[in-house]
Amino acid sequence: MVPHPFSARESRPVPPEPPSPASPDRLSGNPVRVAALGAALLALIGVGGVLEAVSGSIVDGTVLVWLVGSLLGFGALGLVWLVQRAAAGRQQDQGLLGAVLDTVPDALAVLAPDGHLLLANRSFAELLPQDGGGRTGGGGSVRTALAAAFPDLGMATLTRMEAAARQGRETVLDASSPSLRSARWRVSAVPLPGRPGHVLWRAASLPAPAYAFPDALDGAPVGVLVADLDGMLLAVNARAAGWLDIPAGDVAARGLRLDQVVAGLPVAEARPADLPSEVALLRPDGSAMPANGYRIAEDGPDGRRDVLLLCDLSPDLPRRQAMERAERRFQRFFEYAPIGVALVDPELRLAECNATFLSLAGSALEEVQGRPIGMAFQREKRADLVGRLLDVLNGREVSAGSAPIEISMRGAGGPMVHLFARRIDLDGEGGLVLHVVDMTEQKSLESQIVQSQKMQAIGQLAGGVAHDFNNLLTAMIGFCDLLLLRHKPGDQSFSDIMQIKQNANRAANLVRQLLAFSRQQTLQPRVLSVTDVLAELSNLLRRLIGENIELRMLHGRDLGLVKVDQGQLEQVIINLAVNARDAMPGGGRLSIVTSNFSATGPVRRETEEMPPGDYVVIEVADTGVGIPRENLQRIFDPFFSTKEVGSGTGLGLSTVYGIVRQTGGFIFVESAPDQGAKFSIFLPRHSEPVATAPPPEPKERAVADLTGMGTILLVEDEDAVRVFGARALRNKGYLVLEARSGEAALDQLRREGGPKVDLIITDVVMPQMDGPTLIREVRRLRPEIKVIFISGYTEDRFRDAVDAGTRIEFLPKPFSLKQLASKVKEVMAQG
């Protein structure tokens, strides 16, 4: 039994210095033996040759002669003494000593203390690769070569062996090699006497253990292979030797491994216990003989062995092959159960398929088996599909095996699938195997993600544009108000200024629609009944749609309540009604239907998914021209319109979409050309009861006097807005301090001796320090100061950034002079 690679015999220390050659009584060995060996060596190479080798060799004479002597069985100390005595004569012959080392079958290498390779004989050069210059490497290369030749030792073990040799201890390990001429080796790392730190690596092949077959096994009609626990073949009987076409007695000498003659063995560990019940014996001519393998454990004199009994299955091969074909076909159906699998004959008729394929096709087996495979897919793409499959069948295209064919299964709303086609041998004829993967859900998710990302990007753009426009419009409207203070209705410039202001207000309405689409408008939601809202709105809708369009309203029973901004909901209904009117130029019918809807699971419509819950549904349907399919995905995009130039802004439906989504609802559309359109709005149902509506507050009386007193700090980074606001408030009697940034405002508040500030008017979005951050700092310095935020964004965008419990006054941009003065008057009057 070969010992484990780490079961080395105990390391033994070697004396660092040999006995002095000047003291014959301390020489190892018999003096007569020393004299005889010395005479033999001198007769072989001569004293002059020894001295010449000592002076010219890459390794000194003591090391070289000790090496030769140890190999030839001489006493090391005697040879050292002999060489030193011979040094007085002539130099050693280096070439002759090198020739002697190259005749040694063992692999030898000597390393210097720094790890540099001093000497390697020809046998070791077969193990150690050379670099481009024909030179061997250092100690690391030696260990690398040994690790590659003897993988069961490993680099860590070899490193420990070398370290032990440098410390004066010899280590010997047995190893096996799958690549060398012999399978069993003995590897040792030995210190050199008298040369501290020098290491001699030696690898010697071991003879294979002999194994004698019992006569009964040697003549058995089955093949018998005997291997050790390392997977090395020790012997085979006559039947197995005949199968392998090698003499039975040469198996051990050839160093064959079990995995070299038996197919199916794991590469990492060739053990008989890992053999499957059915194997293949590999013959020298490249053929494989099917066989049944049986393992029997045997205890030998030198350890445990494995005996393999192989029964030839070749006579039964045709029947087995037929069974294997049937088994592979059967396994193929079930191994790919999550996807559809179909076998197609050379005529592209469906031969067989699995249940998944039938489910995707929506058909029973008798409906599709034996019929053209194209009948299982959508009609519009059948011709292209058949052409691609014929190309694969005839070898003109191979990409369908890796690049899928995207197609829908037959029938309305059939699943979208990826079809992979490969040519196979089907009962001796060419055929195809089709793998069909259902991609419906993935395609839907991809569409949802694309649509969501598109709408989010457009919303962010619209919100940013709206914010910038609000700053511009605030300045335009404000300066128009300042001009109107000097130009009264009888003035010639009055009408021009009013035209500018009216167009600025129209632009402000467009900006509000952009904010509605980007879900950044200010909402004032309250719990209400959709039926009541529509009832109040019905008269206005009739006037909007005209007399040639019939308006029908149908309300569901026990309709739930919703929490929405009533004004925004009315705008949604009005926009949809106006679009419906424009789609029915010759008249028609507009229907508004309300109902309750409950979903126990997610509801997917188009590219959006609505979570489960209770909803109130408002359906707005018309009998107009309808919407083409290619436009359904774009109708909610801002500025997209199919109307003539000048007939609309393209913001109506985008505003509807933004209001509904900001309210927490969903909107879906169903339409086809010449079949009208139906918009379905799903609003979350509110479960709380309606609070008793407070009595309507009397309309606020017009404030005739907007003047006031006090000190106001106006913080605004937009120069035009700041200049207008400061002039307007100074005209009303206030002392106004201006600041272009939050930092500048804090500097003014910290300045000693300055006026006491009563009110801060600050923009929300500013570079570096924004409005909410500024106010948090102000609260630490002057908590009594009142604050008004102004912004082109909504109040919701910054409310969370202000400390909880803080009262927030907000004035949205754009605002007029009167709105600014009224808000300041209101806040300054607060206690």
Residues with Cβ within 8 Å of residue 583, at least 6 apart in sequence: 622, 624, 625, 626, 676, 677
* DSSP labels, 578-642: HHHHHH-TT-EEEEEEEEEEEESS-EEETTEEEPSEEEEEEEEEE-SS---GGGTTTTTSTT---
Q: Which long-range contacts (CB under 8 A, 24 or more apart) does 441-449 make?
A: 443/416, 444/604, 444/607, 447/606, 447/607, 448/607, 448/608, 448/609
The model's pLDDT over 106-153, given as tens digits with 9 standing for 90+, comes to 889 999 998 888 888 888 887 765 543 334 455 677 888 888 888 888
What mean pLDDT do residues 361-373 have?
A: 86
Say what the pLDDT of residue 49 is. 38
Reported as a single tens digit per residue, the pLDDT across 156-198 is 999 999 999 999 999 999 887 777 766 678 899 999 888 899 9
Q: How confident is the model at residue 568 (pLDDT cuts 50, 70, 90)?
A: confident
Cβ(340)–Cβ(320) below 8 Å: no
| 658, pLDDT greater than 60 | yes
3-state secondary structure of 565: coil
Q: Which residue has the higher pLDDT, 327 or 36?
A: 327
DSSP-assigned beta bridge partners for residue 610? 603
Q: Say yes or no to pLDDT of 729 above 80.
A: yes
Give the residue with greater pLDDT, 521 vs 355. Answer: 355
Paired with 430 in beta bridges are 425
CA distance 469 to 472: 5
d(CA 807, CA 786): 9
Dihedral sign of CA atoms 398, 401, 405, 407 in order: positive
Rounded CA-CA distance 561/525 in Å is: 12
Which residues lie below 8 Å from residue 117, measured CB to CB, with a gap of 6+?
109, 110, 111, 136, 137, 138, 139, 141, 142
- Rounded Cα gap, residues 422 and 391, in angstroms: 11
Q: Looking at per-residue confidence, does 635 or 272 come out higher? A: 635
- With 50 as the cut, is the pLDDT of residue 77 above it? no
- CA-based radius of gyration for the chain: 49
What proportion of the chain, given as a percentage, has pLDDT over 90? 12
pLDDT at residue 703 greater than cutoff 90: no
Count of CB atoms situated within 10 Å of the CB of 432 = 22
Return the CATH fold of 522-684: Heat Shock Protein 90 (3.30.565)
State the architecture of 94-128+141-206 in CATH terms: 2-Layer Sandwich (3.30)
| Angle between helices 139-149 and 154-166 in degrees, nearest 10 | 130
Which residue matches tokens 């995995």? 259
Give CA–CA dist 732/821, Å, rounded.
8
Please state which CATH number belongs to domain 215-313.
3.30.450.20
Residue 761 CB burial class (10 angstroms; 0-12, 13-18, ≥19): buried
pLDDT in tens, 369-399: 889 998 888 888 888 888 888 888 888 776 5
Compute the average pLDDT of residues 774-779: 87
Residue owning tokens 């003879």: 207
Name the band, by pLDDT with cuts 50, 70 and 90, for residue 689. Answer: low
* Global pTM value: 0.39
C-alpha span between 167 and 192 (Å, rounded): 11
Task: Name the pLDDT band for 44 (thresholds 50, 70, 90).
Answer: very low
Pairing of strands 677-684, 711-715: unpaired
Taken as a whole, the chain contains a residue count of: 831
Q: Which two tokens stand for residue 190?
A: 């030995």
For position 561, what pLDDT does the model report? Answer: 92
Separation of alpha carbons 418 and 406, rounded Å: 5
The per-residue pLDDT for 39 is 38
Domain boundaries, the chain: 94-128+141-206, 215-313, 331-521, 522-684, 711-829
For the 331-521 domain, the top CATH level (class) is alpha beta
Q: Which of 383-392, 566-575, 795-804 has the highest mean pLDDT?
A: 383-392
Domains 215-313 and 331-521 agree in fold: yes
pLDDT at 67 exceeding the cut of 70: no
Residue range 251-305, pLDDT digits in tens:
777 778 887 888 765 443 444 455 556 788 888 888 888 888 877 767 665 566 7
For Cα atoms 563, 569, 570, give the angle at the middle one, nearest 5 degrees: 140
Residue range 11-17: mean pLDDT, rounded: 43
Q: For residue 582, what pLDDT band results from cuts at 50, 70 and 90?
A: confident
pLDDT tens profile 526-564: 888 999 889 888 887 888 888 889 999 999 888 989 988
Contact 201, 142 (CB under 8 A): yes
711-829 CATH fold: Rossmann fold (3.40.50)
What pLDDT does 521 receive? 54
- pLDDT band (50, 70, 90) for residue 406: confident
The more confident residue out of 295 and 685 is: 685
Q: Secondary structure of the chain: what % helix, strand, coil (to 5)?
A: 40, 25, 35
Q: Are strands 303-312 and 288-300 parallel, antiparallel or unpaired?
A: antiparallel
Q: State the pLDDT at residue 694.
A: 44
Between 348 and 180, the higher pLDDT residue: 348
Torsions phi, psi for 10 (to 5 deg): -60, 135
Specify the 3-state DSSP secondary structure of 333: helix
Distance CA(618)–CA(614), nearest Å, equals 13
pLDDT confidence of 154, banded at 50, 70, 90? confident
The sign of the torsion formed by the CA atoms of 477, 481, 487, 489 equals: positive
b/e per residue, 704-742, with b = 16+ CB within 10 A?
eebebebebbbbbbbeebbbbbbebbeebebebbbbebb
Over the chain, what is the mean pLDDT?
A: 75
Across 706-726, average pLDDT: 89
Q: Is the pLDDT of residue 224 over 80?
A: yes
Nearest of 378, 379, 386, 333 to residue 357 by alpha carbon: 333
Is the predicted pLDDT of residue 649 greater than 70, yes or no?
no
Distance of CA 726 to the CA centre of its chain: 56
Burial status of residue 769 (CB atoms within 10 A of its CB: 0-12, 13-18, 19 or more): middle
